[in-house]
Amino acid sequence: MLASAACIAYNLCMQYTIRNIPDYLDAELRGVAHRQGKSLNEVAVEALERGAGLSGKRVRRRDMREIAGTWKHDPVFENALAAQQAIDEALWPSLQKASPIARKTAGKGTAA
């Protein structure tokens, strides 16, 4: 069972080691990666896709590029979130003994 799962995981994320890359090709791939703000791996995979004639097919991505930066301000959501962050002081007796500043700042998480 474990061997089967390992085989599936290995084939889903196939890795290659390619040797003897000519200097001119290495320089071009690195240049493209730098200009496009992509990793060398992304650029190399795209080049392999184009070379194999697969660049027109939909590629399964493992990131959230399509939704990054699309957050819209929603007052209803913000209000619901604020309600969830409210502290019921009756459930937290230690806050009743704390200073007003501690009560006011309790429950406010630190932004990462």
Dihedral pair phi/psi, residue 78, rounded to 5°: -60, -40
Return d(Cα 76, Cα 79) in angstroms, integer.
5
| Number of folded domains that form the chain | 2
Q: Per the domain annotation, does 44 fall within a domain? A: yes
Domain membership of residue 28 as a residue range:
10-51
Residue given tokens 């301000």 in the structure block: 73
Task: State whether residue 10 is helix, strand or coil.
Answer: helix
The identity of residue 5, as a single letter, is A
pTM here?
0.42
Return d(Cα 21, Cα 100) in angstroms, integer.
66
User: Each residue's pLDDT tens digit in the chain (112 positions)?
Assistant: 666 666 666 666 778 899 999 999 999 999 999 999 999 999 999 999 888 888 776 666 667 777 778 888 899 999 999 999 888 878 777 766 666 666 566 655 544 4
Q: Per the domain annotation, does 59 fall within a domain? A: no
Are residues 89 and 95 in contact, defined by beta-carbon separation less than 8 angstroms? yes
